[in-house]
Structure 1
Amino acid sequence: MQITQAVLEKNNGDHFKVKVIRQILWIDGIRYELREIYGIGNSEESFDDTGSGEECVICMTEPKDTAVLPCRHMCLCSECAKALRLQSNKCPICRQPIEELMEIKINNVDR
């Protein structure tokens, strides 16, 4: 079962916009809340050809594949994430303490 909680927001005109507040999944009696991972999508806002925003913010060579929890910033490769966890234990984006690292493998068929 999936539950989506949303609100209707009225724009300046007569149009309404749906804003999703929370999504919850129930699978085999276990509740899961779906949450966004920041930095996992392709960046549409590319101003030049110098970078795609898909590389690790530490080494800037390897593709990012690790999200920092609880802030949910996906900004590190797995090797830099392990080293950062031992050295500073803070997210390089927001400086929030790292509680857990979540490695996410993405298959890019389009490229």
Structure 2
Amino acid sequence: MEKNKQLGESMVATASHAQITEAVLEKNDENHFQVKVIQQILWVDGVRYKLREIYGISSATEATGNDNDSGKECVICMTEPKDTAVLPCRHMYMCSECAKELRLQSDKCPICRLGDKSR
């Protein structure tokens, strides 16, 4: 597997944009298989980015069909749609205006209390 990984990354090094998806096939029952994504990597102009899940984004996109669904609004102001993710924890639960205000008050995520280690 490591040799295949090195081969994939060396092929990407020559391209300006590429995506690598590492996945495995899992057998569900006698006749059915399921693909399970292990990780995704993007290469843009020679720079490698590892894609990560954003927690809370699925409820925001799933709720667009019905305006009565909860889960799509900011948990702070409860009026605007959530559109901002907190790093490094990747929680997405608030709007950009509330995120700006919260950033002035604290470096910690109100959901998990993980602080921003990049500052």
Q: TM-score, with normalisation over the residues of structure 1?
A: 0.71
Higher fraction of strand: 1
Q: Aligned to 1:43, which of 23, 48, 62?
A: 62
Tell me the SS of whatever aligns to 2:40.
strand
Q: Aligned to 1:31, which of 48, 57, 70?
A: 48
Taking structure 1 as reference, are residues 92 and 13 closer, same or farther at Cα in structure 2, changes over 3 Å only? Answer: farther
Taking structure 1 as reference, are residues 98 and 55 closer, same or farther at Cα in structure 2, changes over 3 Å only? Answer: farther
Letter of the 2:22 counterpart: Q
Residue in 2 that maps onto 1:87 = 105
Equivalences for residues 13-28 of structure 1 within 5 A? 13-28=30-45
Deviations 1:13-51 (A, max 9, x none): 33211111111122221112222222223236x9x9754
- Segments of 5+ residues of structure 2 without an aligned counterpart are 1-17
Tell me the SS of whatever aligns to 1:70.
coil
- Answer with 1 or 2: which has the greater Rg: 2
Runs of 4+ in structure 1 over 6 Å off: none
Higher fraction of helix: 2
Q: TM-score, with normalisation over the residues of structure 2?
A: 0.67
Tell me the SS of whatever aligns to 1:56.
coil
Instruction: Confirm or deny: 8 A CA contact 1:25 1:32 kept in the other structure.
Output: yes
- Segments of 5+ residues of structure 1 without an aligned counterpart are 101-111
Residue in 1 that maps onto 2:7 = none
Q: Across the two proteins, how many residue pairs are aligned to each other?
A: 98
Residue in 2 that maps onto 1:61 = 79
- The percent of aligned pairs where both chains have the same amino acid is 71
User: Aligned pair 1:96/2:114, yes or no?
Assistant: yes
The farther-off stretch of 67-76 and 78-87 is 78-87
Give the whole-Å Cα distance in 2 for the aligned partners of 1:50 and 1:28.
43
Give the whole-Å Cα distance in 1 for the aligned partners of 2:106 and 2:45.
39
Residue in 2 that maps onto 1:7 = 24
